[in-house]
């Protein structure tokens, strides 16, 4: 059978997914998604079992292959995309993790971050890594593991432990322990990688006491970098695409020109704007990240990460029990004309861009005797749109670019109520593509480009098709006034858990 299928592995925060794209038709031939168990050992802490991740990812691959009705021989290449920043430390001899994976949302290294700030490293870290000091990024999580797992630092110094983001963990396992690699985009999320020199930064490694020998080799986001071990999938299949999930979705949305921007509504919201070949240093609390690096040519993006978006809808369902399915939030929100003055700030794990407050916590404001569950549901959905406006306002200031459209994807982009409200609050058009598995698609494009299935970005651009554009309504003043009150609500949620 002709090798025409591209297998994309999309290992996310709440699920592990495998998607098989038919490169001839551009359609999805097979897909399998497995939910991932979350561990919350203490308030504000989040962990995953790294062995579960690999096991689930393998089951997802097998499920997708079965659904597509193909065999591994017809898979041309594999693209890997992953939840970013989440970090695993494992023993290179046994392949066993020394601790559960510490998830990007986890706040346990806040105090380490505080000490870096007190040591006056804020500007240095920003100029070297493009990042603000926050527990979100991987570096302080690795330090935490080395500080808290007995004997870990000594083993790491002896070269016995490896550290990596989830892409590295999957590739290590898929190659039977032969390759310890990551790509430019994932490296740029660690707070250990110099995004100007394109090297792990010895000074920052020294500050955090992380031995360089733990870290993966950094490779191109597109191009063959490894082969799966025969024992794993019965075949040596090239792995030819690696990117953090938000970078993959920027690629899948064909945001190739300077000023092209996308927002993925997943667990959080991740807004990235392509800024081309030169990094734009943010003066408005955004971060500078490597969009992708292809054949050592690196492109940069400005990013604003909102920590809780889809997670807030899950909270309505799982913790408050006021909706039974995520879709119900859309229906219930429309049953009231507005929130009745209620604001929900879903700062469950602190606030990300542009506030960066590790100690903010979730807040509900404006309750009256007449407030009902629909107001709370609607206010929760609206909070997602306000948080995105916070980020886009900062992006406009940093880049000097006035956006006229925002491409959207991710599970929550299915909400018609939210997408229309987003267009109204931003006063720009919000565009949703036909294929909403944009992260997996971007990963497939990177992998396919790496083996010559697609030959150029222009060809990929042709494959992007619009499903629906949401246009802003006339009442800009009204939405601006709602947004102003949101800013007040955010202030009330900040610095709560100190």
The answer to the question of whether 14 is labelled as a binding residue is yes
Q: Which of 228, 267, 289, 383 binds ligand G3P (CB under 6 A)?
A: 267
**Which residues sit opposite 265 in a β-bridge?**
269
Minimum Å distance from CB 87 to ligand G3P?
12
Q: Residue 12: name the closest of 103, 83, 85 by CA.
A: 83
Q: Judged by CB under 6 A, does residue 374 bind ligand G3P?
A: no
Piece in contact with ligand G3P (CB under 6 A), picked from 66-74, 264-272, 316-324, 466-474: 264-272
Q: Which of 30, 130, 268, 346 binds ligand G3P (CB under 6 A)?
A: 268
266 near ligand G3P (CB under 6 A)? yes
DSSP codes joined into one string, 48-70: E-HHHHHHHHHHHHHHHHHHHT-
For 103-123, give the DSSP string.
Answer: PTT--TTHHHHHHHHHTT-HH
Q: Is 17 annotated as a binding residue?
A: yes
* Neighbouring-strand partners of residue 222: 241
Q: Residue from 84, 374, 389, 407 that binds ligand G3P (CB under 6 A)?
A: 84
Q: From the CB of 445, what's the least distance to ligand G3P, in Å? A: 18
Residue 85 is a binding residue for ligand G3P (CB under 6 A): yes
Minimum distance from CB of 409 to ligand G3P (Å)?
10
CB of 329 to ligand G3P, least distance (A): 18
Known binding residue 310? Answer is yes
* 186 touches ligand G3P by CB under 6 A: no
Using the rule CB under 6 A, is 90 a contact of ligand G3P? no
How many positions of this chain bind ligand G3P (CB under 6 A)? 13
Give the nearest distance from C-beta 118 to ligand G3P in angstroms: 26
- Does the footprint of ligand G3P cover residue 13 (CB under 6 A)? yes
CB–CB of 352/285 below 8 Å? Answer: no
Shortest gap between Cβ of 307 and ligand G3P (angstroms)?
Answer: 9
Told to check if 190 binds ligand G3P by CB under 6 A, we report no
304 lines the binding site for ligand G3P (CB under 6 A): no
Dist CA 457 CA 462 (whole Å): 9
Q: Whole-number minimum distance, CB 12 to ligand G3P, in Å?
A: 3
Helices (H), 149-300: 152-157, 166-174, 184-187, 202-208, 230-233, 245-252
Under 8 Å CB-to-CB from 296, ≥6 apart: which residues? Answer: 198, 220
Question: Is 169 an interacting residue with respect to ligand G3P (CB under 6 A)?
Answer: no
- Joined tokens for residue 263: 């927002």
104 belongs to the binding site for ligand G3P (CB under 6 A):
yes
| Residue nearer to ligand G3P on the CB measure, 83 or 129 | 83
139 contacts 209 by C-beta, under 8 angstroms? no
Q: Are 136 and 100 in contact (CB under 8 A)?
A: no
| 202 neighbors 183 (Cβ within 8 angstroms) | no
Does the annotation place 13 within a ligand binding site?
yes
d(CA 430, CA 422): 7
Q: Give ∠ CA 133-138-144 in degrees, rounded to 5.
A: 90
Looking at the Cβ atoms of 309 and 449, the one nearer to ligand G3P is 309
Is residue 83 within the footprint of ligand G3P (CB under 6 A)? yes
**Segment contacting ligand G3P (CB under 6 A): 83-91, 191-199, 277-285, 458-466?**
83-91
DSSP β-ladder status, 297-306 and 217-219? unpaired
Q: What is the largest CA-CA distance in the chain?
A: 66
Interaction between residue 240 and ligand G3P (CB under 6 A): no
**Toward ligand G3P, which CB reaches closer, 62 or 314?**
314
Q: How far is the CA of 495 from the CAs of 14, 204, 298, in angstroms?
A: 27, 27, 37
Q: In terms of DSSP bridges, do strands 405-409 and 261-265 run parallel, antiparallel, or are they unpaired?
A: parallel
- Residues 86/169, Cβ–Cβ less than 8 Å: no
Contacts of 381 (CB under 8 A, 6+ apart): 313, 329, 330, 333, 415, 417, 418, 421
DSSP, collapsed to helix, strand or coil, labels residue 290 as strand
Contact 469, 429 (CB under 8 A): yes
Shortest distance (Å) from residue 266 CB to ligand G3P: 3
Bridge partners (DSSP) of residue 344 are 364
Of 46 and 381, the one with the shorter C-beta distance to ligand G3P is 46
Does 12 interact with ligand G3P (rule: CB under 6 A)? Answer: yes
Report the alpha-carbon distance of residue 261 to residue 255 in Å, rounded: 6
Of residues 241-260, those binding ligand G3P (CB under 6 A): 244-246
**Is 411 labelled a binding residue?**
yes
Measured from the CB atom, the residue of 268 and 279 that comes closer to ligand G3P is 268
Q: Is the bond preceding residue 354 a cis peptide, omega within 30 degrees?
A: yes
The answer on whether 136 is annotated among ligand-binding residues is yes
Nearer to ligand G3P, 20 or 306 (CB): 306
Q: Which amino acids are annotated as binding site, given as ranges?
A: 13-15, 17, 84-85, 136, 245-246, 267, 310, 314, 411
Q: Which amino acids are annotated as binding site for sn-glycerol 3-phosphate, given as ranges?
A: 13, 84-85, 136, 245
Which residues contact ligand G3P (rule: CB under 6 A)?
12-13, 83-85, 104, 244-246, 266-268, 305
Q: Which amino acids are annotated as binding site for ADP, given as ranges?
A: 13, 17, 267, 310, 411
């Amino acid at each position: 059978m002709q090798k025409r299928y591209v297998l994309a592995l999309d290992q996310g925060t709440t699920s592990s997914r495998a998607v098989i794209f038919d490169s001839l038709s551009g359609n999805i031939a097979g897909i399998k998604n497995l939910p991932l168990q979350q561990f919350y050992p203490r308030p504000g802490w989040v962990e995953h079992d790294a062995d579960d991740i690999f096991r689930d990812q393998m089951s997802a691959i097998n499920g997708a292959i079965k659904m597509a009705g193909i065999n591994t021989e017809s898979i041309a290449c594999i693209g890997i995309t992953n939840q970013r920043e989440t970090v695993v430390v494992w023993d290179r001899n046994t392949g066993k993790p020394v601790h559960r994976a510490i998830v990007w949302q986890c706040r346990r290294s806040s105090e380490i971050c505080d000490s870096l700030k007190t040591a006056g490293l804020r500007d240095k870290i920003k100029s070297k890594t493009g990042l603000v000091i926050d527990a979100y990024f991987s570096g302080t999580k690795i330090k935490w593991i080395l500080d808290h797992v007995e004997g870990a630092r000594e083993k790491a110094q002896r070269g016995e432990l490896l550290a990596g983001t989830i892409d590295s963990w999957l590739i290590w396992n898929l190659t039977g322990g032969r390759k310890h690699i990551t790509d430019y985009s994932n490296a740029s999320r660690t707070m250990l990688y110099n995004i100007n020199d394109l090297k792990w930064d010895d000074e920052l490694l020294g500050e955090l006491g992380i031995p360089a020998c733990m870290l993966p080799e950094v490779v191109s986001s597109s191009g063959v970098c490894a082969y799966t071990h025969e024992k794993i999938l019965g075949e040596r299949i090239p792995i030819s695409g690696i990117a953090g999930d938000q970078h993959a979705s920027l690629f899948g949305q064909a945001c190739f020109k300077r000023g092209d921007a996308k927002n993925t509504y997943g667990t959080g919201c991740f807004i990235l704007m392509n800024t081309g070949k030169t990094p734009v240093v943010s003066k408005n609390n955004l971060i500078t990240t490597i969009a992708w690096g292809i054949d050592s040519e690196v492109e940069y993006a400005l990013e604003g990460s909102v920590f809780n978006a889809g997670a807030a809808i899950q909270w309505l369902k799982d913790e408050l029990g006021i909706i039974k399915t995520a879709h119900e939030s859309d229906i219930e929100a429309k049953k009231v004309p507005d929130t009745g003055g209620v604001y929900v700030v879903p700062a469950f794990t602190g606030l990300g861009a542009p506030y960066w407050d590790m100690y903010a916590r979730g807040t509900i404001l404006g309750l009256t005797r007449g407030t009902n569950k629909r107001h709370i549901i609607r206010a929760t959905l609206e909070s997602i749109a306000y948080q995105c406006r916070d980020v886009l306002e900062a992006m406009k200031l940093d880049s000097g670019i006035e956006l006229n459209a925002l491409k959207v994807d991710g599970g929550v982009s299915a909400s018609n109520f939210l997408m229309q409200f987003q267009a109204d609050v931003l006063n720009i058009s919000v565009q949703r593509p036909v294929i909403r598995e944009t992260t997996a698609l971007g990963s497939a494009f990177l992998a396919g480009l790496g083996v010559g299935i697609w030959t150029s970005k222009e060809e990929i651009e042709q494959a992007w098709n619009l499903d629906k554009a949401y246009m802003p309504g006339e009442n800009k003043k009204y939405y601006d006034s709602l947004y102003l009150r949101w800013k007040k609500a955010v202030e009330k949620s900040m610095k709560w858990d100190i």
